[in-house]
């Protein structure tokens, strides 16, 4: 079945450690996105990528980094520079000129 | 920059009733898309309905319909004959029309809808 897979579903890290969230899609979509969800704030765009080896900052990119070495994969690294990393992270993908974005099931990151 | 505002943090109705969720947005763009997404307790984001700004006719999907008022920049969602499975967070979202490249969504804060038996 085609879809977007995020792993793990729950992730715990100690403060000061970098952590990488995985996002894989087998939909052959060109564009991929990372959103952060906090209570009462909806979803905010962290980074997005239109094609392999290219990505742009979204609205809240500080403290995050990404790579896009393969079309299917768009991992997100939450660095120690991110001041408040505990949140729910959603990955999405879409096809150019098609308006619907497909979402993964999310990763809940807790930093203690 | 575009902004999306949902003024109702929480709503609650009885099963089989009709409920309307409000959404307003601000943009200087003329060509864009508006969406309602549903996020049930599983936290999976599910597209409920989509509206193209150039279309005057309001979109409908079974029990879900929208009231799109372009001049007022208003985009409300009506759920008819509500069901227990409609219980979820509902997000209104805006996307500027892009003929190529990434389709970035701007989301509202969400409305938590509870359908009571």
Tokens of A40: 């009462």
Q: Between A and B, how many residue pairs show a Cβ–Cβ distance under 8 A?
A: 60
Reply yes or no: is the peptide bond before residue A8 cis, omega within 30 of 0: yes
pLDDT single digits (tens) A4-19: 999 999 999 999 899 9
With an 8 Å Cβ cutoff, are B102 and A48 in contact?
yes
With an 8 Å Cβ cutoff, are B91 and A97 in contact?
no
Dihedral in degrees, nearest 10, Cα atoms A20, B91, B56, A97: 10
Give the CB-side neighbour count of residue B80, counting CA atoms within 13 A. Answer: 7
Q: What is the C-alpha separation between B63 and B41, in angstroms, rounded?
A: 20
Q: Is A39 exposed, middle or buried (0-12, 13-18, 19+ CB in 10 A)?
A: exposed
Q: Which chain B residues have a beta carbon less than 8 Å from that of A48? A: 102, 104
Q: Which chain B residues have a beta carbon less than 8 Å from that of A44? A: 107
Q: Which chain A residues have a beta carbon less than 8 Å from that of B3? A: none
Angle at A110 between CA A4 and CA B102, to 5 degrees: 35
Q: Is A53 exposed, middle or buried (0-12, 13-18, 19+ CB in 10 A)?
A: exposed
Predicted pLDDT at A94: 87
- Min Cα separation B8/chain A (Å): 11
Residue with tokens 């564009």: A31
Phi then psi for residue B112, to 5 deg, are -85, 115
Tokens of A79: 């660095």
With an 8 Å Cβ cutoff, are B99 and A103 in contact?
no
pLDDT single digits (tens) A92-101: 998 866 667 8
pLDDT single digits (tens) B9-27: 999 999 999 999 999 999 9
Tens digits of pLDDT across chain A (112 residues): 679 999 999 999 999 899 999 999 999 998 899 999 998 778 999 999 988 999 999 999 999 999 999 999 999 999 998 989 999 999 999 886 666 789 999 999 999 8
Cβ-based neighbours of A35, under 8 Å, separated by 6 or more: A43, A44, A45, A46, A89, A90, A91, A92, B105, B107
pLDDT band at B2 (very low <50, low <70, confident <90, very high): confident
Considering chain A, what is the average pLDDT of its residues? 92
Predicted pLDDT at B96: 84
């Amino acid at each position: 079945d085609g879809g977007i897979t995020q792993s793990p579903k729950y992730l715990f890290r100690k403060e000061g450690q970098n952590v990488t969230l995985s996002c894989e899609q087998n939909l052959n979509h060109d564009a991929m996105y990372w959103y952060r969800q906090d209570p009462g704030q909806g979803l905010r765009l962290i980074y997005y990528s239109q094609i392999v080896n290219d990505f742009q900052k979204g609205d809240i990119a500080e403290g995050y980094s990404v790579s896009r070495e393969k079309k299917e994969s768009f991992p997100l690294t939450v660095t120690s520079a991110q001041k408040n990393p505990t949140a729910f992270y959603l990955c999405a993908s879409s096809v150019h000129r098609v308006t619907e974005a497909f979402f993964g099931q999310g990763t809940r990151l807790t930093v203690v | 920059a575009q902004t999306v505002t949902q003024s109702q943090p929480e709503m609650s109705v009885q099963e089989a009733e009709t409920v309307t969720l409000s959404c307003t947005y601000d943009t200087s763009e003329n060509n864009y898309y508006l969406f309602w997404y549903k996020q049930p307790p599983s936290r999976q984001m599910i597209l409920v309905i989509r509206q193209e700004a150039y279309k005057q006719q309001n979109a409908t999907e079974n029990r879900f319909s929208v009231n799109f008022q372009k001049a007022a920049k208003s985009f409300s969602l009506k759920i008819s004959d509500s069901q227990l499975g409609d219980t979820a967070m509902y997000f209104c979202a805006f996307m500027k029309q892009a003929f190529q490249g990434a389709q970035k969504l701007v989301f509202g804060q969400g409305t938590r809808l509870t359908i009571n038996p």
